[in-house]
Structure 1
Amino acid sequence: MSLSLSNVTKKFGEHTAVNQLNLEIPNQELFGFLGGNGAGKTTTFRMILGLIDQTEGNITWNGERINYDQSHLIGYLPEERGLYPKLRVKEQLLYLGKLRGMTKQEALVQLNKWLERFRVESYLNKRVEELSKGNQQKIQFISSVIHQPKLLILDEPFSGLDPINVEMMKDAVLDLTEEGTTIVFSSHQMDDVEQMCENVCILREGNAVVKGNLKDIKKTFGRKNLHINADFNLDFIEEMDGVLNYKKYNNGCKLQIANEQISQTILAQIQQKGFIRKFELEEPSLHDIFIEKVGEQYE
């Protein structure tokens, strides 16, 4: 069973926000959904959730279209946060839990569990407006998972968090996947997606320009990264055939090369010039692939 998007298109007047999108996301997977600003990510999320209708195509989860009757099985963390600033944390989260069909006792158990996990137990009776932006983000996340959803959509879940809280949130997301939740999330932090997801989709102007298993995508990308650190000037490498990008730093450089064979040509050249401290060939990063495919759209 899975979340399935088949030839999904969304038009707003003459503008096509999402164009013929096809995705198959198995249950219990953590799937990375990427794109520059205005690429169609949030529009796709809203179509999946049934908040807006697609112009063409079909969206199903476990063979059925998502509707209000399934809302207790679904969680959504929107990019635009939507907490009530004057309400206290406890009353707000209990209210949202009840909307998802939970009893007060069930909601309290989950609420206390998550507050303890995120180390914000002391904020139980504080108003949301009294919390820092990062702690408001934690409460917003709890509101999307308090009812233990089976499908969870996270739109930029780590924005506004410091590195310590990002790691805390990432651990929570990974644990939810282990417990059986299907998660689709977007992030502008490529390292987070690369660390957490096996499969990704990159949108550009509503079109899927990259889609599939991340390891396979990297292998077929062709280009490689090469890091060199040496006791001599390496600037001559920039002019060599097959060197696509050259960045100099203290005692070394980082290159993007057309293919793996170019690295052997470079190695043969520099071995004759002095002591080499580092010569490391790497697969392209998700950031490299994203910039190549999205380019000037990325902000």
Structure 2
Amino acid sequence: MERPNPRLYEGYCDETPVHRLRERFGTTNVYGRNSRSILSPASGYIKAYDFTLNPYRGCQYGCSYCYAAAFSPNTRMRRDWGNWVIVKENAAELLRKELERWNKRHPERPPRIYMSTVTDPYQAIETREKLTQRLLEVMIEYCPVLVIQTRSPMVTRDIPLFQRLKKLRVNMSVPTGSETVRRDFEPQSPSLKARLHAIHKIAGAIDPDKGYVPKLSVTITPTLPTKPEDIDWFVERLRGIDRVVLQRFHDASARSLVAATREEAIALKEKYRWWYADEGTQYENFKAILKQRLPETEVLENQEGFGYD
């Protein structure tokens, strides 16, 4: 008997869909699925970790440059990146089982987990699903080394849980210091002010007498243009963050890289030729400014910057 095609999602196929539309959340098509596993072995860029953890598949922010679109279930969903999300409904139950299994095999070492690599754990649907919140509650019991990657101010909701996680780093993605650039490259994402306010809110709200203190990063990745008139504002709002991470734009010419830069972002490069005509020099000058004006902040690049330590 022929197995049903798992790539057939209602609204994105001509055949009878295997996965029906669960609902509409604003303009987003929402699907619900049970996963076979929730912890995926880490490799490549984040090989320093044991696992990646993605509560959702798809991302409502739909950033133009996001490599994760390459891993959409089918071509139509890839073209509609940002307008659909798949909720891994059994994620918390799976996580408990998989962490318990790890602890039995490796009682001497907690797992190192990166959440998330191909979705945002605090995208809008999380306000109602609270899936990421439930995953954190499970992880508190098992004390993993955890890095959370997000661009959402909603991350501040879980500050009480953060204080109960022994080894946590929160990475706030802020790829540019210019709001106009942000609106061009990632129009569906939160404002820069909201993101920077959120990471500072975490820093200010953490009480070392009431629990653990998370490490905090701003990841300027991929490093998009920051207009000269916005640099002073941006640098000032990076003060007090213990780490800043830089990374050149994904190499669209790397044919071996499945998750290369999307065409939407490549087209936007033309609008910012003053930066991309000599991207190397612009990037190095920007890095030099950060290192000079933020002497108490760790400024790292590429893979090195995404480690927990």
TM-score, normalised via structure 2 length: 0.25
| Higher RCO (Cα < 8 Å, 6 or more apart) | 1
Q: Which has the higher strand share?
A: 1
Q: Which has the larger radius of gyration?
A: 1
TM-score by length of 1: 0.25
